Structure 1
Amino acid sequence: MTRNFDHAHDFHIDSFQVFNVHPSADPLNKLEGRVAVGAIHDSAERCDAPKCHPETRVALQGELYSWIVHGDGESQHPVKMKWVTGPAGSGKTAIMGSLAKRCAANGILGASFFFASWSASIARRRKTALVTTIAHQLTRYSHVFRDEIFKAIEANPDVFDKNLHVQMETLVLTPLREVAGRTDGPGLLGVIIIDGLDECEAEQFHDAAPTRLGAKLAQPRTNEQDQLEILQVLHRAASDPVFPFRILVASRPERVFREFFDLEGNSTPFPPKLDLNKDNNANADITLFMEAHFSRIRRRYNLPPSWPPSGAIHTLVENASQQFIYAAAVIQFLDTDHREPPEALLETILKMSAKRTTTSNPLEPLDVLYRHILESSPDPPLSIRWIHIIKQLNNSMFSPASNIRLLLQTDPESSEAEHLFGNLHSLIRVPPRSNQATAGYGFYHKSLLDFLQDPDRCGSLYVGSSELSVFIWDRFTRACVRVCDTTRFSYPQTFHQFLFNIPVFLNMSEGIAHSSVLPTPASVDWWVSSAISENGGTHLWKMFWSVHRSVRPDPFEALG
């Protein structure tokens, strides 16, 4: 196997960023090489991100915009930081996206960063590129500030390998101090918007085996630890008198955020949080959203003015329970499910509403809708396994749709993916076949993954971790066998690289233990030769352990 990336640097593949900047690069190139482009509010990756419909969430956006410009009449040295929170589906990302657009248009958006746990971009799921992405956006404010950031990079060429506290101090606060009070200073004012911080996943270093510290074994970092680190870095910046920006952080009300923003637990007061779950105008806004989209669908399909029937929108708004995600999911379902006309699809949704049980769970209507759509797949259990694996692989490595298809399909030349996902386009972003070599599968909202991971919500559709481990091991092993047979189908080199890295990122030991599928001698040869030709080093032994170790006695007798 030839190596395609010898001496490569400063490159990225679609949304997968490779942080390997050439030492001779100038400061701008060094900084650009560390930016999570897809996390910025107006990036191409966020073109389908939820947005507030015009005339909805107006009061909320107005309140936040007023705070950005005028503040809350705080003390002389306020902590310029506010928390926007609400449960899944309450519209946090839509509000932050629309607010970022408004601030950018008015010249007061310092920077934005939209985390997304479902994204194929590692940089959008982890903390690594947060400060550098903020710093890069701040270079556009003025040439004076930009020059100071570049000087900081030249003076500290290893800053990109430092922790977030050092990066914030070096790339943002120190340059701000240099320009503060200068007559040619930029006069900075505005906001930094951080959305979806609860979706930030812990940075793990796969090459670092656990080590014993005293009598305890070192544990991997948790998501909450990295989220708290980010909150502390932002709080430190917002508390600095030289820092001119306000900071908006949006997240679900998870414990790490509740404790951090607890007024009684902080010596320095925070501005009050904005809780979207207590927004009394949500139903009115959802009604406006529904009416506008039903009007558009009615025009698109030339439906009569009497559609939707009287009371339908009121029923749907009641079902939403102030959760915008339900309204968005209904519209997405009516817009993209072309098996039946919109009238029949709406009637189906209204029949679901009539069967609704009395429950305190505001997400029950959404769960019923998700269950109905997933069960419309020709093979719901298999489709759901695909969804779980896409999520895992998107979280671990660059996984374009073409590689996912080649891995999971039983026949590489079949249309199994199209068959499985044909009725699920209202839940899953499926790139066109012509673009699948670079674009990945995606999800319209994290709430789908929350639904599938909770057996109390998805019921019979639930797939446990052991079943998923067996499934990915079976498909992975069969793919290893197939790549050895070049007489029938020639796999692209990118798929070889993709397959080689799977054991490094996924723990398949449980699947190995319970699966009846074992490697063949040919696939073993392919793995060893691939690892050697790729200069796998420690990865060779990790691969060998992942692929060949089993709790069963002498599992490789079958290999001969």
Structure 2
Amino acid sequence: MNPDSSSKVWREGHSAMQPRSRRGGPEEDWNHSRTGSQVPRRLESSNQRPATQALFANSRHNSFFHSSINIVGGDQINTSVEDSEAGLKLLYQTIAHVGAFHDSETRYPPPKCHPETRTAVLLDISAWIKGAEADTQVHWRYGPGRGAEAETKFHWLYGPAGAGKSAIAQTLAEKEQGNHLAASFFFSRSDPSRNNPRFLIMVISYCLAIWCRNTQLRTAIDSAVKTWPAVLGSAIEKQFQELVVKPFEVIPQESWETLPRVVIIDGLDECLDSDSQRRVLNTLFGGLSLGQTPLRFLIASRPEPVIRGFFGQLSNCGITTRTELSDNYSTSRDIKVYLRDSFKAIVEESHSDVMAHIALPWPSIGVIDDLVQRASGQFIYASTVLKYVGEEYSHPVEQLELVLGLPLGDPGAFSELDALYRQILLSNRNKARLIQILGTMLAIEDACSVRWEELEPGHHSSGWKGIDVVELLLSLPTGAVMVSLRGMHSVLQIDSRIVEFRHKSFRDFLLDARRSGEYFIDKALCHERLARVCMRIINDSSDRLRSYAMYNCLKHIHLAKSTSNLITELQRFNFCDMIGWHLRDLSHDTSIYVSQSISVLQKYAKVLELHQIKTWSDSLQLGIYVADTHRRELSNQFLSELEVLFALAMDCHYAPLDAIFSRSALKTPGNVDVLTGLDCIISPPSMKETFLCLDPSHSRASCNLVWYFIDFKNGYSRLANHCLRTIRPNPRIELSYFLNCGYVYAQSRVSELLYRSPLDVELQHELKKTMPHLNGTKELRKVLLWLQDFPDAQRDIPMENTIRRLSTSSAR
């Protein structure tokens, strides 16, 4: 988000709500609301200022800027004032980095419609925004009875890649800012903050508070966040109810018509998966279909299957309309205007020195008509041509001749664009290095977009897309990337040593072997190469790229093509350092450390299984090795407590506590709460100096450490024993939250714990005493089958008859 514009909006909106007698300017209002703890009395009258100056008459080097000076004669009383709009501030801090607004600095310069173009489509959508009756074109598009667009809640603007959807959405947002625009959100596939719906509802809610100019709505949103700050981390469905729907309930419905009501969402197809796209539409539709808010949504996207299917199902409900970007809206005429004016700017402005002796008009009308025909309705084609022709260090006439000399090719939708992309790539002399660099950029972009909760160390990844990182990963000399990308500015944005693809269509071209031919990039193979590079960096303890390698190595392995070289290196690679790096911030809390380590190890095991390496999965079922980094001896009590902690963490991985307790009236407890309820009190020391490893033979530090094996079976046995004792009648059950937590967990998991435990006579006797108190025949059946493994079980309990009775009871 643009810091300047957003802070200005905040200050203006905040100042407008303050009493005039208290205001000394917007900056003072902002500072007042930000400090909010102690507000001293200020000197207001002019006759007090000389006294203030006299107070500092003999002092030097004093500077005062927006300062308040207290002169106290007697007792001073400071009054505590609640922080003004703390909820909105917290909401702003959460979304400030996203950059999804139409005027965000992150998107500068945004795509916009060229003047005098797209007039017809802009006029139609503007009519829908204003709720006015559409003209005859609308009736022609939607059929009889569909012209009353004021009735519709959704308007879908769709078309192929490069058709200009984002430019139209941007132009409408700028036009309606301060009028009908209530919020805007622009998705981006390459931005990890904007390629998923995580921040969508929060951005919309913040816009409603700031842009709608309604004090009640603003206060309601502020109060919602202050009352329940955790809503900022809730699911978007919950956020929509709490931050959008409920705040509108405080406003009389008769006043809804006076509010800005249009929310513009661009690039919904830029969400990384179809489930996210469907989830966004269902969330928005759920609130609007019930008439809970006055909002109306303009959604721009490519016609992806999920989005097309959603609007197809609603086509007969009377709440959606749509606009397809086709030549019905004079697209060819608009592209012609765009080309004509832009070529004129090249002649008269950017290349006036080299174009001074060129006969005008240039290019001829026939050439422009030819380019319009080749564009086939795609503005991105025209934009790419103009960037290529207008390259800073090129001659426009020669560049245009190259464009016009391209073969017409097949009449497919992308044939002309593909031919242009191939011509741009052909201008590079070192094709192999160029493809290697572009493939590395795509793989890095891929890795940065992957988000694994188990492996999030809070590291910011924006700097990893830089040219320096690419050169280090590929072992290229400094400056090699810049040299290789010369002549690529028409398809790449190169700024401050950061390289980004200008258009998604260029990515699509490179990744489609049918279209790009010899320029095809096998992204999976690029991930394979980077995975091996990262493993070498970690083994060599390279400082320059160690952070990148630690954070992204497993992601590259996950996305890599399985090759014999990769599998060989994976089998002998030491992962211990990477695991410790991911867990480095959790070692102060043993319970959290143990629980998180299981999640991290499981993620590693799952990734390695993709490459047919199952040793990690097998080892993780048995136990784990620990060692003290200072070669100190670990006590038996510490090792025993670790066995219980790891066993519980493994069990919770397969049966999460939130799923177990969702059927009870108790809130979901933590691991320590469950152990407390099972009367299993442990207090192991910090894991800060403890080293974890699944296989010490692969650890570089193994020869210097004393390893201890944590046997999960022993841990399961101890857990099962505590569960059995907890299940038996306890007079304190109703008196303690922890005892209730232990009881619910024990009833749910005791049979599974028994099956993972070794055959233990003590456990057998405990089970026999507990069987009458087990809930449900399903659990009883499981434990009876477990008892069958004991030689004396048949004498003590008639197993077959008992199971037969249970089966009969279940059938009834």
TM range (shorter): 0.7 to 0.9
In the other structure, the counterpart of 1:124 is 194
Kindly tell me: are residues 77 and 406 of structure 1, through their superposed partners in 2, closer, same or farther at Cα, counting changes over 3 Å?
Answer: closer
Query: Does 545-554 or 34-43 show the bigger shift?
Result: 545-554
In the other structure, the counterpart of 1:161 is 233
Structure 1, unpaired ranges of 5+ = 1-11, 13-23, 202-222, 434-439
Match of 1:139 among 206, 209, 213: 209
Looking at structure 1, the residues matched to 297 and 152 of structure 2 have their Cα atoms a distance apart, in angstroms, of: 9
Return the offset for 1:360.
3.2
Match of 1:268 among 302, 317, 320: 317
In the other structure, the counterpart of 1:5 is none
What are the Cα deviations for residues 426-472 of structure 1, in whole angstroms up to 9, with x where unaligned?
21222224xxxxxx532211111121222221122222344223222
Check whether the contact 1:110–1:192 (CA below 8 A) recurs between aligned residues: yes
Letter in 2 for 1:191: V
Kindly tell me: are residues 72 and 395 of structure 1, through their superposed partners in 2, closer, same or farther at Cα, counting changes over 3 Å?
Answer: farther
Looking at structure 2, the residues matched to 261 and 553 of structure 1 have their Cα atoms a distance apart, in angstroms, of: 44
Match of 1:62 among 116, 120, 123: 123
Query: Does 148-157 or 166-175 show the bigger shift?
Result: 148-157
Return the offset for 1:545.
4.8
Query: Does 536-545 or 369-378 show the bigger shift?
Result: 536-545
In the other structure, the counterpart of 1:97 is 170
In the other structure, the counterpart of 1:460 is 518
RMSD (Å) for aligned C-alpha atoms: 3.4
Letter in 2 for 1:411: S
Check whether the contact 2:327–2:377 (CA below 8 A) recurs between aligned residues: no
Return the offset for 1:316.
0.8
Looking at structure 2, the residues matched to 553 and 225 of structure 1 have their Cα atoms a distance apart, in angstroms, of: 30
- The secondary structure found in structure 1 opposite 2:390 is helix
Looking at structure 2, the residues matched to 289 and 282 of structure 1 have their Cα atoms a distance apart, in angstroms, of: 10
Letter in 2 for 1:292: D
In the other structure, the counterpart of 2:90 is 30
Letter in 2 for 1:165: E
Match of 1:198 among 254, 269, 273: 269
In the other structure, the counterpart of 1:152 is 224
Letter in 2 for 1:268: C
Looking at structure 1, the residues matched to 87 and 268 of structure 2 have their Cα atoms a distance apart, in angstroms, of: 28
In the other structure, the counterpart of 1:296 is 345
In the other structure, the counterpart of 2:153 is 80
1:429 aligns with 2:493: yes
Within 5 A, what are the aligned runs for 1:541-552?
Answer: 541=601, 545=605, 551=612
Kindly tell me: are residues 68 and 84 of structure 1, through their superposed partners in 2, closer, same or farther at Cα, counting changes over 3 Å?
Answer: same
1:406 aligns with 2:436: no
Match of 1:393 among 416, 430, 447: 447
In the other structure, the counterpart of 2:388 is 333
Check whether the contact 2:128–2:149 (CA below 8 A) recurs between aligned residues: no
Query: Does 511-520 or 274-283 show the bigger shift?
Result: 511-520
Within 5 A, what are the aligned runs for 1:478-557?
Answer: 478-481=536-539, 484-485=541-542, 491=544, 495-508=545-558, 510-511=560-561, 513-515=563-565, 518=569, 527=578, 530-531=581-582, 533-535=584-586, 537-538=597-598, 541=601, 545=605, 551=612
Letter in 2 for 1:116: S
Kindly tell me: are residues 403 and 337 of structure 1, through their superposed partners in 2, closer, same or farther at Cα, counting changes over 3 Å?
Answer: closer
Looking at structure 2, the residues matched to 91 and 402 of structure 1 have their Cα atoms a distance apart, in angstroms, of: 27
Ranked by relative contact order (alpha carbons within 8 Å, sequence separation 6 or more), the top structure is 1
Letter in 2 for 1:85: Y
Kindly tell me: are residues 553 and 420 of structure 1, through their superposed partners in 2, closer, same or farther at Cα, counting changes over 3 Å?
Answer: farther
Kindly tell me: are residues 138 and 252 of structure 1, through their superposed partners in 2, closer, same or farther at Cα, counting changes over 3 Å?
Answer: same
In the other structure, the counterpart of 2:422 is 371
Kindly tell me: are residues 159 and 401 of structure 1, through their superposed partners in 2, closer, same or farther at Cα, counting changes over 3 Å?
Answer: closer
Return the offset for 1:512.
6.4
Query: Does 54-63 or 236-245 show the bigger shift?
Result: 236-245
Letter in 2 for 1:396: V
Check whether the contact 1:72–1:271 (CA below 8 A) recurs between aligned residues: no
Query: Sequence identity, in percent?
Result: 26
- The secondary structure found in structure 2 opposite 1:158 is helix
1:259 aligns with 2:309: yes
1:351 aligns with 2:421: no
Q: Would you say how many aligned residue pairs link Structure 1 and Structure 2? A: 494
Looking at structure 2, the residues matched to 107 and 534 of structure 1 have their Cα atoms a distance apart, in angstroms, of: 48
Kindly tell me: are residues 310 and 69 of structure 1, through their superposed partners in 2, closer, same or farther at Cα, counting changes over 3 Å?
Answer: closer
Return the offset for 1:248.
0.3
Looking at structure 1, the residues matched to 383 and 194 of structure 2 have their Cα atoms a distance apart, in angstroms, of: 23
- The secondary structure found in structure 2 opposite 1:248 is strand
Query: Does 536-545 or 126-135 show the bigger shift?
Result: 536-545
1:447 aligns with 2:505: yes
Query: Does 459-468 or 89-98 show the bigger shift?
Result: 459-468
Looking at structure 1, the residues matched to 307 and 130 of structure 2 have their Cα atoms a distance apart, in angstroms, of: 25
In the other structure, the counterpart of 1:21 is none
1:233 aligns with 2:269: no
Letter in 2 for 1:270: I
Looking at structure 2, the residues matched to 523 and 404 of structure 1 have their Cα atoms a distance apart, in angstroms, of: 29
Which structure shows the higher helix fraction?
2
Letter in 2 for 1:190: R
Check whether the contact 2:439–2:522 (CA below 8 A) recurs between aligned residues: no
Looking at structure 1, the residues matched to 502 and 281 of structure 2 have their Cα atoms a distance apart, in angstroms, of: 26
Match of 1:43 among 104, 111, 119: 104
Return the offset for 1:411.
3.3
Kindly tell me: are residues 522 and 197 of structure 1, through their superposed partners in 2, closer, same or farther at Cα, counting changes over 3 Å?
Answer: closer
Looking at structure 2, the residues matched to 38 and 312 of structure 1 have their Cα atoms a distance apart, in angstroms, of: 39
Kindly tell me: are residues 50 and 514 of structure 1, through their superposed partners in 2, closer, same or farther at Cα, counting changes over 3 Å?
Answer: farther
Letter in 1 for 2:468: R
Check whether the contact 2:528–2:556 (CA below 8 A) recurs between aligned residues: no
TM-score normalised by length of structure 1: 0.79
In the other structure, the counterpart of 1:323 is 378
What are the Cα deviations for residues 291-326 of structure 1, in whole angstroms up to 9, with x where unaligned?
111011111212133422452211111100011110
What are the Cα deviations for residues 228-284 of structure 1, in whole angstroms up to 9, with x where unaligned?
111122223333435223210111111212221126x55622343100024340011
Kindly tell me: are residues 272 and 551 of structure 1, through their superposed partners in 2, closer, same or farther at Cα, counting changes over 3 Å?
Answer: closer
Return the offset for 1:544.
5.7
Letter in 1 for 2:179: G
Return the offset for 1:158.
2.6
Letter in 2 for 1:231: L
Query: Does 77-86 or 325-334 show the bigger shift?
Result: 77-86
Return the offset for 1:401.
4.8
In the other structure, the counterpart of 2:803 is none
Letter in 2 for 1:461: Y
- The secondary structure found in structure 2 opposite 1:336 is coil
TM-score normalised by length of structure 2: 0.56
Looking at structure 2, the residues matched to 553 and 90 of structure 1 have their Cα atoms a distance apart, in angstroms, of: 47
- The secondary structure found in structure 1 opposite 2:225 is helix
Check whether the contact 1:531–1:539 (CA below 8 A) recurs between aligned residues: no
